[in-house]
């Protein structure tokens, strides 16, 4: 089978996804998560008398915890297949990538499995975050004077 014929078959059998519906679902679910986060932020500020910054951290921690637990129970993957970017882009995606990597490589042992692979996916976020912050931080310090 030559390459063109193969490509034709692949194109024909790749399921067509409706971009508009996907985008709408991502917008609505992602937006709801944002509004829910804001509600939690207000609740934490009121109930625990925390300043705004600390309650913001607590909100992210709540979402991280929920995402990790749902991943371990196998529910998160089902949800991601339905709403995709709406759960990957919020901090839930970061927690999910860690927990799922840890679970997946558990059978290779505690050190070489979980230890070596826990940052497998989340590592890219941290790496490029840190490298870009060094560059942008130096720009701000040297060019803009802080």
Partner 1 sequence: MTYVYAFLFCGFVCLIAQIILDNTKLTPGHITSLFVVIGAALDVFGIYDKFVLYAGAGALLPITSFGHLLIHGAMDMAHDIGPLGLAFGIFNLTSAGISIALVLSFILAIIFKPKH
Q: Which residues, 6 or more positions from 28, have their beta carbon under 8 angstroms from its beta carbon?
A: 86
Contact call for residues 43 and 58 (beta carbons, < 8 A): no
Residue 19, both tokens: 């971009």
Q: With binding defined as CB under 8 A, does residue 140 bind partner 1?
A: yes
Compute the distance between CA of residue 31 and CA of residue 29 in angstroms, rounded to an integer.
Answer: 5
Site string for partner 1, 6-25 (x = CB under 8 A): -----------x-x--xx-x
Considering only residues 9, 109, 112, 124, which one is a binding residue for partner 1 as defined by CB under 8 A?
124
Give the separation between CA 37 and CA 46, rounded to whole angstroms: 14
Residue 9 vs 24, nearer CB to partner 1: 24
Q: How far is the CB of 10 from partner 1 (least distance, A)?
A: 13
Examine residue 139 and tell whether it contacts partner 1 (CB under 8 A). Answer: yes
- 56 near partner 1, rule: CB under 8 A: yes
Distance CA 119, CA 129 (A): 14
Between 22 and 79, name the residue whose CB sits nearer to partner 1: 22
How near is the Cβ of 38 to partner 1 at its closest, in Å? Answer: 4
């Amino acid at each position: 089978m030559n390459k063109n014929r193969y490509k034709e078959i692949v194109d024909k059998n790749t399921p067509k996804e409706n971009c508009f519906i996907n985008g709408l679902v991502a917008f609505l679910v992602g937006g709801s998560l944002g509004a829910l986060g804001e509600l939690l932020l207000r609740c934490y500020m009121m109930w625990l008398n925390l300043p705004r910054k600390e309650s913001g951290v607590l909100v992210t921690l709540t979402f991280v915890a929920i995402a990790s637990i749902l991943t371990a129970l196998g529910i998160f993957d089902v949800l991601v297949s339905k709403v995709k970017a709406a759960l990957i882009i919020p901090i839930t995606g970061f927690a999910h990538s860690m927990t799922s990597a840890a679970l997946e490589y558990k059978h290779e042992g505690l050190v070489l499995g979980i230890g070596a692979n826990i940052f497998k996916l989340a590592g890219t976020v941290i790496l490029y975050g840190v490298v870009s912050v060094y560059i942008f931080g130096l720009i701000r310090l040297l060019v803009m004077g802080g």
